[in-house]
Structure 1
Amino acid sequence: RRHLVKLLVLQNKNKRVLCPRSLESFTNWQKSKAKCQAKAANQRRDYLHKLTTHLVKQYDVIIIEDLKTKNLQKNHHLAKSIANASWRMFRQMLEYKCEWYGKKLIAV
């Protein structure tokens, strides 16, 4: 359905319609896009919670690398996947769960 909306917008531009419709005029399309993005964010957050809890329960000392993601995102081939990985959220979850369980987290 989202693909059809984009095709309609392109057809209006190509036919030079007097009042071409933009993507903003398709409110149901915007709602479905927001739902898909929210679902992906919830799945990512759930996975990170499960992973960090498992790591903290299994190990007494956790050592992670302190990465500068801004520098890594300069590589345009990997930028989207790096931004999508939520490394900052992963580190924050590890930090507060290590405090909860009395474990040690070291960032190198």
Structure 2
Amino acid sequence: MLPEASLPPIDQALLPPEARAGGAEGARLYAAALGFESLLVQQLASQLAASAGLDGGSDPDGAAASPYAALLPDALAQAVSAGGGLGLAPQIYQALTLQEKASS
């Protein structure tokens, strides 16, 4: 999972009501859910870049070998996350809260 320090600060007004009601623990779990979603988007973008040949795998001298090509998956993942993500974070948050309740 991504370290929480690598995620941008979460606007408390954008937290789901359940996460706000959960206080600091709810915010921590929601940040973890957002981090997991961001990591998932980054992995999907990396696979997309590899399948599109943007990773420079078969043509080391071509334009795909640009050092900027390696930055595309991260940039795409950040843009998707900044645009609200895929919408998976609330479901991940619910699963994390259920797991926390079961373990305590």
TM-score normalised by structure 2 residue count:
0.37
- Highest CA radius of gyration, 1 or 2? 1
TM-score normalised by structure 1 residue count:
0.36
Q: Which structure carries more strand by proportion?
A: 1
